[in-house]
Each structure stands twice: as C-alpha cells, then as structure tokens.
Amino acid sequence: MIAPDLRLLLISNSTVFGGTYLGHVLPVIKTFLSGTSSILFVPYALKDHDGYAARARSAFESIGVELSSIHQASDPVAAVEAAEALFVGGGNTWRLLKAIQDRSLIEPVRRRVRGGMPYIGSSAGSNVSAPTIKTTNDMPIVMPASFEAFHLIPFQINPHFLDPDPNSRHMGETREERLVQYLEENDVPVAGLREGAWIRVTGGQAWLEGTTGARIFRRGSEPSERVPQDSLADLF
Amino acid sequence: MIAPDLRLLLISNSTVFGGTYLGHVLPVIKTFLSGTSSILFVPYALKDHDGYAARARSAFESIGVELSSIHQASDPVAAVEAAEALFVGGGNTWRLLKAIQDRSLIEPVRRRVRGGMPYIGSSAGSNVSAPTIKTTNDMPIVMPASFEAFHLIPFQINPHFLDPDPNSRHMGETREERLVQYLEENDVPVAGLREGAWIRVTGGQAWLEGTTGARIFRRGSEPSERVPQDSLADLF
C-alpha cells in the first residue's frame, strides 16, 4: 500500500554518458513538479556547495522552477519546513548523510515528504531515500552517527547499478556479489537501478521508468529483472 | 621511522585473474614466515567461516605452515595472544571489522603485531591494517562501532586499486575520484595497491612488491606512481 500523497522521483544518476547535467530527466522532473514553482536543493554530497547549487539552479531554471540551496539558509530545518519541494543531489553518500544528521534534518524531511512534499533524489540523493545507506557504492570518507536515512520507501536502492563485465580481469566483487553480501546480513529488498533508470511514485503507484531497467534482489530468491514501465508496487 | 620488529605483508588481493587462491604470493608468504610453523586465520570477512578456513588451510599447508582458524577458538583473544602469526583474509571489510570489534580484538592484535608478530592481510585484511576503513571499496552491509581499525601503519590502503577505463560509459566515480573525495575530508595518505601488488615491511624497511605498482595519494599533491621494488618508507 503506497500512500496516495507520496511523491518521489528517485533517479539512478544525474548525468548519462555524453549528456548534460539532469538532461535525460528534465522533462520528467517538469511533469513531476507541475503546480510547483520552487524547490529546495540539498548540495551536501559534494564539497563545493556554491558551485553545485549554481549547476542545479541552472537546470531547474530551464524548466521554470526557482531553486534555493539549503546551505545558504540560516536555519536549515526552517527551510525544509517552508519548502515546496526538495531535490537532494548526488555525490558522496556518507558526506551527504552526515551533513543531514548534523543539521537534524532526518525527521523534518521525513515528515514533510510523508505529508506530500515532492522529493527528487539523484544517486546519493536516492540512496538516502531508503531505510539505510547500506547499499551505497561510495567510499566511507566520513562517519555518520548511524547508517539510517530518510526511510521514505521500505526497500533499498543501489544507484548506478552495473552488470558484470564478461571481459573484465578485475577480481574485486561484482555489484551483484556485493548486494548478495548485503542480503546475507539484511532482509530488505534492493532495487539495483541502472544508469538511465528512475523510480516515480505518484498517485499511490510506483513505476520503473527510463531506458535501462532494474534488477531486484531479495533474500532467498534469485535476482529478477524489471523493464521500463513495470510497476514496482510489490516492493512497497 | 619503521620499528625494526614490525613484520607486515599487506596484499591487494588474494587471487589474480586466472590464478589460484593466494597462488601469486605463496612463495613470498613462505619467505616472510620463515621460522614460523603455524598461523592463526581470521575468516570473519566472509559468511562461511568453515569453508573459508578450509581454503586458507590448504594454501598454507602447501608451504608447510599449520593454520588454525580463530572462529573455532573458544576464546578469540587468547588465540591471538598465543598465535605465532596472523592472517586476515579478504571479503567484506565491514563484516570483518565489526566481528573484530565485537570480539574486542583490536587492542590485542595491535599489541602483538607491534611486538613483532607477523601479520598478513589480503584485501579487506589489508584495509583493517590501516588507521581506519575509510578507504575500503566494500558495501557497508553492517555498521561497526567505529571506522577505526588495527592502525599497524600510519597510512591508508585502497586494495584492488583500479585505473580509469578510457572506454567506460559508466558515470559512477572512478576510484581516483573517490580517493580525492577521501582527501577532501581526511589528511592521511593512501596507497592504492593494484591487483598483483603488495607491501612488505620487515627489518625496519617497507617495500612495494609484486608486478603492478601502486598509486600514492596525498592531500595537496598530484597522485604519484610507485613501481615494484620501490621503498615506501616515506609513508611511515
């Protein structure tokens, strides 16, 4: 059962190969945000907040949405309370989550999004929409107080999901092997979102969209494939 | 200044492409352990401790070293205190570190190794020889009490170090980009050990060995290359 008010757009990656920043999803974002004229940006996943906010502002302005960045707000919690919509950008998931926790934003964001505020996440911003960041690909460059994140959805996301390369001579674990290890320790399903894929949750429904599909991992089952336009309601 | 008693063998990866388990390093391990007839194995990085110990036992027996596994010891701390040498196997660094912390093994291992007990680490086992596990490649499938590890060396290791693939269309961060992010948040050098490389510390000296070299990352400097047989004493 998906709450009819829940509005999420969870994007695997902000830039596809050869594309521009958010270029492959701007039409979708425009539709998703219809009726919304402004958005609050969370730039904490990258070190250069000003530069990151400028890049995001330029993309959103091109679809007629005014963007302000939370790092320029004197009171970040108040900024969340006042926001029309939220966009959490990609980068390093650990740096992002620690900054969110340090500013006591978990509860306010969760409450606002559960109350119907549209949430857009890309890459690390999609990771933090899950119960925990235990399925991030990122290097743990800083230690957050806990691995618990916004928990806007009841399953995990692995963004930038990568199929094994049959020609690789590299002996590090494949992405699938890493996710199987995750399921050895945790009984929560994972959606491996390939680059170019995203999840849209609106009107009490959840859809896989984009061009590349997703691979679903559940404890005790073989991984299964989903193709664009498949429902993901069974993960809720 | 490297303590003259310190004996470390820090291996990037246990199996090179097309090879057998530890095959590329068994002659080096044999020399490194000369005068030592037994070794204590730490299998916590994989879920199947029995199977992992059997695989490691077979490799060490082939060079005349008796292997016992710490997971079969009734008192793991006592097993460390009694060990002649230690081998920490690869797998998931998070699972490994949490198990080490849960069994209160950090201090006993650190004291024994600083006192001259030979330490062999492979992949995750090399990660935990560093001050922290902040340069692991692994998925954070469990949460340890802290990111602090054995701290047997004063720098970080990134095992399975991977150069960028110029033909890749994948948009996830390259390994180098991830390590640059690490240095944005931490001022501790990192040795990126390519597969097939290892670090040997004996007799108050530290050497890069193997076939593939390493890339050294320091805050404020361009990354630099080291080739096999180079000294790494400047990292200490």
Residue B166 touches chain A, beta carbons under 8 Å: no
CA distance A73 to B80: 52
Chain A residues touching residue B17 (CB < 8 angstroms) = 169-171
Residue B74: the pLDDT is 97
Chain B residues touching residue A134 (CB < 8 angstroms) = 139-143
pLDDT tens, per residue, chain B with 236 residues: 899 999 999 999 999 888 999 999 999 999 999 999 999 999 999 999 999 999 999 999 999 999 999 999 999 999 999 999 999 999 999 999 999 999 999 999 999 999 999 999 999 999 999 999 999 999 999 999 999 999 999 999 999 999 998 888 888 899 999 999 999 999 999 999 999 999 999 999 999 999 999 999 999 999 999 999 999 999 99
The tens digit of pLDDT for each residue in A70-105 reads 999 999 999 999 999 999 999 999 999 999 999 999
Please say whether the beta carbons of A185 and A202 come within 8 A.
no
Residue B183: the pLDDT is 98
Residue A166: the pLDDT is 87
Residue B47 touches chain A, beta carbons under 8 Å: yes
Residue A187 touches chain B, beta carbons under 8 Å: no
Residue B166: the pLDDT is 87
- Whether A123 sits among the annotated catalytic residues: the reply is yes
- pLDDT top residue among A168 and B95: B95
Residue B180 touches chain A, beta carbons under 8 Å: no
Residue A205: the pLDDT is 98
Residue B75: the pLDDT is 98
In chain A, the residue whose alpha carbon lies closest to the alpha carbon of B45 is A181
Residue B18: how many other CB atoms lie within 10 Å: 8
Residue A171 reports pLDDT greater than 90: no
Residue A12 touches chain B, beta carbons under 8 Å: no
CA-CA-CA-CA torsion for A125, A126, A127, A128, nearest 10 degrees? 60
Instruction: Answer whether B170 sits within 8 Å of A178, measured CB to CB.
Output: no
* Average confidence (pLDDT) over A30-42: 97
Nearest to A143 among B147, B162, B195 (CB): B147
CA distance A109 to A93: 17
- Whether B138 sits among the annotated catalytic residues: the reply is yes
CA distance B83 to B10: 18
Residue B13 touches chain A, beta carbons under 8 Å: yes
Question: Assign residue A48 a region: left if phi > 0, alpha if psi is -120 to 50, beta otherwise?
Answer: beta
CA distance A103 to A86: 16
Residue B150: the pLDDT is 98
| Residue type at A165 in one-letter notation | D
Instruction: Answer whether B15 sits within 8 Å of A92, measured CB to CB.
Output: no
CA distance B93 to B140: 8
Position A161 confidence tier, pLDDT thresholds 50, 70, 90: very high
The reported pTM is 0.96
The tens digit of pLDDT for each residue in A188-210 reads 999 999 999 999 999 999 999 99
In chain A, the residue whose alpha carbon lies closest to the alpha carbon of B140 is A134
Supply φ then ψ for residue A201, to 5 degrees.
-120, 115
Residue B143 touches chain A, beta carbons under 8 Å: yes
Chain A residues touching residue B47 (CB < 8 angstroms) = 181, 184
CATH of domain A8-164+193-214+225-235: 3.40.50.880
Instruction: Answer whether B17 sits within 8 Å of A171, measured CB to CB.
Output: yes
Q: Which two tokens stand for residue A11?
A: 């994007």
Q: What is the pLDDT of chain A when averaged over all its residues? A: 97
- How many contacts (CB atoms, under 8 Å) link A and B? 99
Nearest-CA distance A201 → chain B (Å): 24
Instruction: For chain A, give the percent of residues with pLDDT over 90.
Output: 95
CA distance A226 to A155: 15
Nearest-CA distance A50 → chain B (Å): 16
